[in-house]
Structure 1
Amino acid sequence: MTTGPRSSVPSTPAGYRSGFTAVVGRPNVGKSTLINALIGTQVAIASSRPETTRKAIRGILTTPGAQLVLVDTPGIHRPRTLLGRRLNDVVDESLADVDEVAFLLPADQEIGPGDRMILSRLRTAFARRTEDGKFVWRIPLIAIVTKIDELARPRLVDRLLEIQSFADFTEIVPVSALKRDNLDEVRRVLVEHMPEGPQMYPSDQISEERPEETIAELIRGAFLEDLDDELPHSLAVVVDSIERPDSEDAAHGEKARVFVSVYVERDSQKPIIIGHGAEHLVRVKRRLRTPINRIVGMRSVLELHVKVAKSWQSDPKKLDRLGF
């Protein structure tokens, strides 16, 4: 998905910086919200519900002097299902070749077991222990303290001191992505600690995702805004095909057709997704008409079909078929 026509990658000026930034943290600490704010448009689902991100979404931030690929990872957690274990595997794969790590810690929550588990995994991957017991990082580890708008200044200072003693961070940067407070400083710090390297993508490209993946995530995000607490974890979305008319039919107003399967785990969940008189399906189609037209590159018709894949979160064959 791009913000405009694709162009070739320009030559790289001296001192240019580029590389991959893994954005990690517990579920629901604001990873997707921060990446969307830094890039300036939505490339990842941002929701108040935990475990919203299920894939390593790569958003591309390009500035005059740098290009960062921000890898939005699923929140690291103790898995309850096979899906949860595979999501943790996605995190491990995403960490394999990154140049820096942004560890998100919410200002309005105490450091807990989940944060300590993540720190332990990061130390295993990126640090060595000295004889006196200290950890030396092989790549920059930057603490980004999110949701600072939730705290009064004296309490925020206490939280920053607590985070400073939690680990030997390269830098600590407070931010409110929702209020766009201190975003420029986050961008500056991430660029400053990135190694020099060439521009990897055209300047107008903002994501590595295929159109089908982007559309599926947009649809899942739209449903998440309306669903109750149980359904989000049971919901999966797959774009089966995008059928574009030939140039002659398009000239006569023929639209593209986007065929989508929306999966739940039980028959009783289908009516919840569909809604009375198909109101939920109609609402999602209306809400996503413009962004999907933009992704497909022409006027489109969204065909949503709700299906049941029983207990798919714990079925390896179904997980494979659904792309996990």
Structure 2
Amino acid sequence: MNTDHLRAFVAAVDEGTFESASALLQISGSAFSQRIKALEREVGHVLLTRTVPVAPTESGAELLRIARQTVMLEDEARRSLGFHRIPGEAAPTVTLSVAVNADSLASWFLRVLQEAATWDDVELHFYAEDQEHTHELLRNGTVAAAVAENPTPVSGCRSTVLGVMRYWPVASTELLDRHRSPGGVVDWQRVPLVEYGIRDSLQRTGLRRLGVSGTPTTHMVPSVEAYNAAVGFGLGWGMIPESMMPPGVREGTHPDLAVVEEIGLQETVLHWQHWSSTTAVMDRLTGAVRRAAARMR
């Protein structure tokens, strides 16, 4: 397959419109459309929905990962060989798309960003998703690598253990006191909870430990900083990464917050999954991720 056609296909998916994708590739809209049509004729399938934003069809989703790998390999080969499309133009950067759970991205993974700040040949695109679902983005070709909970490698990928993230159930003591019976027992069916998003299962796992079958009032706060603040303000109880725990909470000396002992510690084993057809830039990223994960707390 023509790599220019595959590059146009990837750009359309990433940019969302043919207009934006053609501008990114610095070609006319008609030339861009011709590349997409030529690729679709070659594979015998419609690959993109002509919607806003455009999206891969079922056949397009199957091709997307191969297209991304091909584009990445070509860019790295051109850069390493000093071969550019236009004489005198800057060497191409290699784009690496990575899925990371938001808690990791806001904590130990920051060390990866620190290392990457010294690289001038890589463009990083991050996708925040719950660790239970990041492997799905790897499977459908959206990303080349992912921090995932699932240890089983996606087809065509490698998987290695990174370490364990520890989460503690935390609640405002005032919130708990408002939902205690005269005998001092907390009615967990009535205590609100805070979730990062609809795919965040940590709190529901905690409720099962408590034997709660129903669903209490649930607040959705899709920001790590705002989530932790919401728990601190008493909007609801929630699972907070150990590295982000306010001082004194685990020790029982915090004036406003307490660990919910009835739920207890939850541990999540994280894995690094990436394409098997590795390259020098992917190896460099993998090394940075492993070094950062070694200091995971």
* Bucket of the pairwise TM-score, normalised by the shorter protein: under 0.3
Larger Rg: 2
Q: How does the TM-score come out when normalised to structure 2?
A: 0.24
